[in-house]
Amino acid sequence: MQHIGRYFINNKKLSILTIENICKSYANHKALSNVSIDIPEQSIFGLLGPNGAGKTTLIRIINQIISSDSGTITLHGEKLNREHVMQIGYLPEERGLYKKMKVGEHLLYFARLKGLNRVNATKKIKTWFNRLDIPDWLGKRVEDLSKGMQQKVQFIGTILHDPKLIILDEPFSGFDPINANIIKDEILQLREEGSTIIFSTHRMESVEELCDHIALIHNATKILDGRKEDIKKQFKSNTYSVSHKGKIIANENFTEITTTEKEDGKLFSKIKVKNTDNPNELIKSLLNQSEIYSFHEITPAINDIFIDQIKGGNRE
């Protein structure tokens, strides 16, 4: 058994949150059906799915806003209970700010609710405002802030009490590209500092950039989960992109799929390998036929996998 710090055992990250067979129904609508997911510690976990899939219901159950009909959730091996609320930071998609309050007073109020005393809360608020380069916002009223500025305040309120588990539902809503990148950097830094982030979004480019693991929920059921890179490999088509000079003819190792000509006279081809276990044979065949400038495997984007699975693609 191998231990590296507190996060690994047998070279595998420990789970901070274990969700087992969670079910939830509203009248005649089934919101979640036997959903089971392990959230690895110190990871960014993408919780994905189309509108109405059940993501928000699951998030609300984790936050103990609502209860499941059946199933169990454990946090650090303990059955989820009210005391765990202090270890969780939750940024909902909807704004949860009191518009008439001043920003500093608002954040102090919520920090106190999470167990911080006034002195520590005030210190942390000032630290985060300086960290995000917004020190002059403390005296502003919430209603005077733009949508993006309000989202930044709400993000600070989510992480002020140093939660070990952070749940972010569409955290980039309302942000321009510059501020979105600032928050992305902070999310990555929070992971480096030991936090685990559950990240729910429809922006697949953010999933590509940030997430270590993902789970896909559709029609109340989990249809896919695992390490992001493993899932991308699972759905790869054994297709390679090649830049070259000289015609390429298909043989026993590969099939030429498409070829286009570039402005400098080079050719660009997408080639599918027949022997998936030995791409080296493809390289040898190509070198015998053409002058090769670049060669790399094409892996599917998370967005492509998402669309394929939601539309009823192969889920085996």
Query: What are the 10-residue block averages of pLDDT along the chain, 316 residues in total?
Result: 39 83 93 96 95 93 95 94 92 85 92 92 93 88 90 93 94 88 94 95 91 95 94 88 83 76 78 72 80 85 92 55
Same domain, residue pair 187 and 242:
no
d(CA 95, CA 106): 13
Cβ atoms of residues 271 and 282 within 8 Å: yes
pTM value is: 0.85
State both tokens at 71. 């199933």
Same domain, 92 and 44: yes
Q: CATH number of the domain that 228 lies in? A: 3.40.50.300
Amino acid at position 157, single letter: G
Residue pair 267/259 in contact (Cβ under 8 Å)? The answer is yes
Is residue 129, in this structure, part of any structural domain at all?
yes
CATH number where 264 lies: 3.30.70
Q: What is the pLDDT of residue 6?
A: 41
- Residue 277 has a pLDDT of 61
Please give the tally of structural domains in the chain.
2
The CA radius of gyration of the chain, in Å to the nearest whole number, is 24
User: Do residue 175 and residue 269 come from a single domain?
Assistant: no
For 253, the domain range is: 237-298
Cβ atoms of 54 and 99 within 8 Å: the answer is no
Q: Is residue 309 domain-resident?
A: no
Q: What is the pLDDT of residue 167?
A: 97
Q: Under the phi-then-psi rule, with left for phi > 0, alpha for psi from -120 to 50, and beta for the rest, what region is 170?
A: left
273 and 187 housed in the same domain: no
**pLDDT on residue 219:** 93
For residues 179 and 171, is the Cβ–Cβ distance under 8 A?
no
CA distances for 97 relative to 127, 161, 199, 236, 258, angstroms: 20, 17, 21, 44, 53
Whether residues 117 and 208 share a domain: the answer is: yes
Q: What separation in angstroms does the CA of 12 have from each of 6, 9, 42?
A: 11, 5, 12
